[in-house]
Structure 1
Amino acid sequence: MSALPRIRPAFISRRNLLLAGLAVPLAGLGLNRPAAASADTNAAIRFIDSLGQQTLGILNQPQPLAQRETQLRELLRQGFDLAFIGRFVLGRPYASLSQEQAADYHQAFNDFVLRTYARRLSGFQARSFAILGARAAGDTDTEVSTRIDPANGQPVRCDWRVRQSGQRLGIIDVAIENVSMAVTQRNEFASVVNTGGVNGLIGTLRARADRETVNVSR
């Protein structure tokens, strides 16, 4: 059996920023950023602050690892717009997917993201999570800047892009120290698609998600 193509969460290896398991990110979206906008920055601030504090609460509470990961997966599912992110990281090939392929891809992508990031985030320790400020970024988006203080290491700045869709807020972007994590992930996906097509990518994502499940059960 040939080795699986290497796909890793783009932001996890950078200075051990497991905290970024809070996000599957997109700083390089090329979205317009007008100076004036109607986005509700206060709502976005409350949204990000709530997610951060909930995450700290889960990480700082003594409980079995499997239970912690289950809680983190649900928090990630609620906080991120995985449908949008999945489309972005796949890029142009997404437009040519059949309805069945699109459904399979989103299922595989969601499982890969939620299982991988929850497992890695579950081992992260942080002292605090603080809001530094926010600014409108278009009619529906707000960028919220935060500082995360790890238990060991230097403080890290994370900028979250929050989009309002109807009544729902969801994270579509996170930049860690001004580095776009999604662009890296998109490039890795493109490499796999170029070799094995979208079906090859779907198979790889499923295998990676299954591997995370096996690792958790051990």
Structure 2
Amino acid sequence: MNKQVRNKAIAKARVRDTQAEFVKKMIIGLFSTLIIAAIFIFGGNAHADNKDPAEQEKARQFIEAFSERAIGVLNNKELTDAETLAEYRSILNESFALPYIARLSLSRHRKKATEEELAEYNKLFPEFILKVNSTRLKKLDTTKLEIDKVTPHAKADIFIRTKAFNSENKSIDVDWRVRSDKNGNVKIIDVKIEGISLVATQRDDFTSRITSSGISGLNQYMRDIIDGTTFAEETAS
């Protein structure tokens, strides 16, 4: 009898230990998940305080270097069209947060896209942006860019207000919205020319095209721009 009581007590103790171990693992798993989520959500910009003068100076220097390089290519008449396009492609890929801009441009319509349509869209977007904006750049007569003001915006972004001057010394206001990525590299996420956001303009254009012909129609339009079937000048107004 005593042996049976003892065996039951041992069995109950093992059940309690198993339950306690299960609860312990659940708690550890929950905290691990929360930590990972916190790193994912906040880690990308946790190191970059946009109110820090050092961060603002880094953003200023980034735009100075970017503009000097871009204007140099724009005004280099010795480059062939292919060489100019290659230089612009390099500048675009290095200086702009293209995946982020692609998401903003597609906006809520991402939910409507199939995996195949979305994959094609993301593949086409960088070259499409290159072709459209290289056409616009050819029309510009920019000789220099001067920085007026650097100001933090929201929690992570920095606005850099500049004036772009042409050969007649006439200027237009150009605002650059930049953000540091998870590696601390400054990237351009939007450009406002005389108060008009290029990303918002692109998003509105995409929304209109998706409304009339769907995501597949938008992708076909981008392919036509890239292939030269449709000329980018038609979208450069």
TM bin, normalised by shorter chain, reads 0.7 to 0.9
The answer (yes or no) to whether the contact 2:143–2:165 under 8 Å persists in 1 is yes
SS at match of 1:131: strand
Could you say which residue in structure 2 is the equivalent of 1:98?
A: 114
Could you say which residue in structure 2 is the equivalent of 1:80?
A: 96
Cα distance between partner residues in 1 of 2:198 and 2:138: 20
In 2 relative to 1, CA 52–92 (structure 1 residues): closer, same or farther, beyond 3 Å? same
Which 10-residue stretch deviates more, 117-126 or 170-179? 117-126
Say whether 1:54 aligns with 2:69: yes
Could you say which residue in structure 1 is the equivalent of 2:81?
A: 65
Q: Residue 145 of structure 1: CA displacement?
A: 0.7
In 2 relative to 1, CA 51–128 (structure 1 residues): closer, same or farther, beyond 3 Å? same
Could you say which residue in structure 2 is the equivalent of 1:121?
A: 137
Cα distance between partner residues in 1 of 2:202 and 2:208: 10
Say whether 1:198 aligns with 2:215: yes
The answer (yes or no) to whether the contact 1:111–1:209 under 8 Å persists in 2 is yes
SS at match of 2:228: helix
In 2 relative to 1, CA 165–58 (structure 1 residues): closer, same or farther, beyond 3 Å? same
Question: For residue 73 of structure 1, what is the amino acid of its counterpart?
Answer: R
Unpaired segments of 5 or more residues in structure 1? 1-35
Deviations, residues 173-192 of structure 1 (Å, cap 9, x unaligned): 11111122322221221111
Unpaired segments of 5 or more residues in structure 2? 1-49, 233-237
TM-score (norm 1): 0.75
Which 10-residue stretch deviates more, 98-107 or 195-204? 98-107
In 2 relative to 1, CA 107–153 (structure 1 residues): closer, same or farther, beyond 3 Å? farther
Q: Residue 210 of structure 1: CA displacement?
A: 0.9
Cα distance between partner residues in 2 of 1:209 and 1:152: 33
CA RMSD of aligned residues (A): 2.3
Cα distance between partner residues in 2 of 1:203 and 1:214: 13
Cα distance between partner residues in 2 of 1:122 and 1:162: 24
Runs of 4+ in 1 over 6 A off after TM superposition: 212-215
Question: For residue 198 of structure 2, what is the amino acid of its counterpart?
Answer: M
Cα distance between partner residues in 1 of 2:64 and 2:230: 29
Higher relative contact order structure (alpha carbons within 8 Å, sequence separation ≥ 6): 1
Deviations, residues 101-154 of structure 1 (Å, cap 9, x unaligned): 222101122111012212432453322111111011133211001111012472
- The structure having more radius of gyration, on CA atoms, is 2
Cα distance between partner residues in 2 of 1:213 and 1:67: 22
The answer (yes or no) to whether the contact 2:131–2:225 under 8 Å persists in 1 is no
Greater fraction helix: 2
- State the identity as a percent: 27
Cα distance between partner residues in 1 of 2:75 and 2:119: 36
Question: For residue 174 of structure 1, what is the amino acid of its counterpart?
Answer: V
In 2 relative to 1, CA 107–184 (structure 1 residues): closer, same or farther, beyond 3 Å? same
Give the total of aligned pairs. Answer: 180
SS at match of 2:144: strand
TM-score (norm 2): 0.69
SS at match of 1:192: helix
